[in-house]
């Protein structure tokens, strides 16, 4: 196995310490420490991350198809269960 040089170690450490920054650079194909990378703020990256996460959750919603499924059935129990599971993952598991 190849031994990492100090720059590679620093980049890996950065990506582990700032995962949203690493996600943003992968999403926009921005090289580490390039001008675009240095000019973006962490808050802009964070808002982009949450917007992306929110929009992906909207895309997963089922759309209405006439004469198919149980579109009149309440989805409240599923939503409550999903929120409970998300809370447990975020705050109780780790």
pTM exceeds 0.85: no
pLDDT band at residue 78 under the 50/70/90 scheme? confident
Complete DSSP assignment for 37-92: HHHS-HHHHHHHHHHHHHHHHHHTSPPP-TTSS-TTS--HHHHHHHHHHHHIIIII
Of 48, 58, 39, the residue nearest 20 (C-alpha) = 48
Residue 6 pLDDT greater than 80, yes or no: yes
The whole-number pLDDT of residue 92 equals 75
Residue 2, classed as helix, strand or coil, is coil
Which candidate, 21, 44, 43, places its Cα nearest to that of 34?
21
């Amino acid at each position: 196995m190849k031994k990492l040089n100090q720059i590679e170690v620093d980049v890996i450490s950065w990506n582990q310490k700032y995962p949203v920054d690493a996600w943003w650079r992968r999403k926009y194909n921005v090289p580490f420490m390039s001008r675009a990378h240095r000019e973006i703020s962490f808050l802009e990256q964070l808002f982009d991350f949450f917007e992306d996460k929110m929009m992906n959750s909207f895309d997963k919603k089922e759309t209405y198809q006439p004469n198919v499924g149980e579109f009149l059935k309440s989805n409240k129990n599923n939503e409550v269960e999903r929120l409970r599971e998300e809370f447990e993952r975020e705050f109780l598991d780790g």
